[in-house]
Every structure is written in C-alpha cells, then in structure tokens.
C-alpha cells in the first residue's frame, strides 16, 4: 500500500487528485495540506510514502518545501503536480530532490504510473517535461537567465516575485534583512534587473509565473 499526502493551495485541485487516487487499489490517502508549512508538519506526523505537491503556494513554495522535506526525510518520495511547466522549475525541483514531475493536465493513468515508478526508486517525468529537460542539455535555445542561478538564489527569486517582504524572507533564510538585501542586489546584478518590477517582468517572460499571477 502506497500512502500519499496531497499538497496544493487550491481545494478544487486537491479534490481532483483525491478522486483520481480513490480509484487506485494500492493507494491510501493520508491527508492534505494547503501550504508548505502545514505539509511539513503532516509529513512528520503521518510519515507518508509519497507527497504530491504543487509549486506555487502561499508562504513557503513547493521548491523550498521540497528542499526542507528532503533534508529532514531523505527517504520521502515527492512528485510535483503543477501547471508550471516552463522555465527552470522542473530542473530546480528535481535538483532539490523531487522524484517526479507531472503536469496538471496529465492523464489519470500517468499519476498511477508515476506513483509506482517513484516507489520503486526511479524518477518519473512527464514526457513534455522530459523533452524540455533534454533540449536544455543539448541546446541553449530553451535556457533562461534564471538557469544561471544557484538553487538558493532561485528560492529567493521565487519569494520576491511572490511579493514576500524582506523581513519574512530573511526569517526563512535565517539571515539579517541587511544581509538578504545584499544577496538580493547580487542576484539583480546577475539577472540585469534594477528592481522587483523588472524581476517580475523577466519572470513572466521566462514562464515562472502562471497566467493569473499579478
């Protein structure tokens, strides 16, 4: 039996995943969470085999949640289910420890296959995502400036484009606001932007934001 925790800030999305899981005889849903903090707490309490997680969520996003979960529980299997299929998201999340990456418009059979695959210790990546990653390895055509960032820099960028306050981010990063501002300015220089507005525009161009964001 594969035990599963669902993490998504949209109730309709969670309901859809729960409906799909209910048809699988070898899967038991352990619980659900609407944000990263709640998800991390539930993982500690319920110890599921697999976490099905969205990327964009209030508070701590899917990337940071994945990183923290894998540090505290390296045996956990995380499958990303997201509408965010472009830009550096897939590569960054896999780098952070996710074992799978599915698109929200994927077929039900793909979710079942992904669960069985990651439980066996192998990665499962949706064909469209796998093709994108393969293209990045052989060509620079699909690369963006965000691909030059480190994992930690990317985490800061995602929080900034979500509009999080410097104090809030500094608390997550365990650094002073002054240190964080220095770090932020270094990233701005690397990306050739001068402020958060330009950063958001660049992020939209690189498909880091969903259509209804901002």
pLDDT in tens, 169-213: 888 788 899 999 999 999 999 888 999 888 988 888 776 665 444
170-178 own/partner pairs: CB under 8 Å, 24+ apart: 172/60, 172/64
Q: Which two tokens stand for residue 91?
A: 């590569």
> How large is the average pLDDT for residues 3-22?
90
> How large is the average pLDDT for residues 110-130?
89
pLDDT value at residue 55: 87
- DSSP code, position 112: H
Cα angle: 63, vertex 202, 37; to 5 degrees: 20
> Domains of the chain (ranges plus CATH)?
2-138 (3.40.50.2300), 145-205 (1.10.10.10)
pLDDT value at residue 209: 64
Q: Report the b/e string of 159-180 with b at 16+ CB within 10 A.
A: bbbbebeeeebbebbeeeeeeb
pLDDT in tens, 35-76: 999 999 999 999 999 999 998 887 788 888 998 999 999 999
pLDDT value at residue 143: 62
Q: Which two tokens stand for residue 21?
A: 């899981």
Model's pTM, two decimal places? Answer: 0.71
Q: 10 Å Cβ neighbour count for 191?
A: 20
Spatial contact of 66 and 53, defined as CB atoms under 8 Å apart: yes
Q: Using DSSP, state whether 49 is helix, strand or coil.
A: coil
């Amino acid at each position: 039996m594969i035990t599963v925790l669902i993490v998504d800030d949209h109730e309709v999305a969670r309901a859809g995943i729960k409906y799909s899981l209910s048809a699988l005889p070898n899967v038991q849903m352990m619980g659900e969470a609407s944000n990263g903090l709640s998800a991390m707490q539930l993982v500690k309490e319920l110890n599921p085999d697999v976490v099905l997680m969205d990327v964009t969520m209030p508070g701590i996003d899917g990337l940071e949640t994945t990183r923290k979960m894998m540090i505290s529980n390296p045996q956990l299997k995380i499958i990303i289910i997201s509408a965010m299929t472009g830009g550096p998201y897939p590569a960054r999340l896999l780098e952070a420890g996710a074992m799978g990456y599915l698109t929200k418009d994927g077929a039900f059979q793909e979710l079942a296959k992904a669960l069985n695959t990651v439980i066996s210790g192998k990665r499962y990546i949706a064909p469209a995502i796998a093709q994108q990653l393969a293209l990045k390895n052989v060509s620079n055509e699909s690369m963006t400036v965000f691909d030059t960032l480190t994992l930690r820099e990317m985490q800061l960028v995602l929080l900034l484009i979500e509009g999080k306050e410097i104090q809030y981010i500094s608390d997550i990063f365990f650094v002073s606001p002054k240190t964080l501002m220095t770090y932020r300015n270094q990233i701005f220089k690397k990306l050739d932007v001068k402020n958060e507005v330009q950063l958001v525009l660049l992020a939209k161009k690189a498909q880091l934001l969903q259509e209804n964001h901002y």
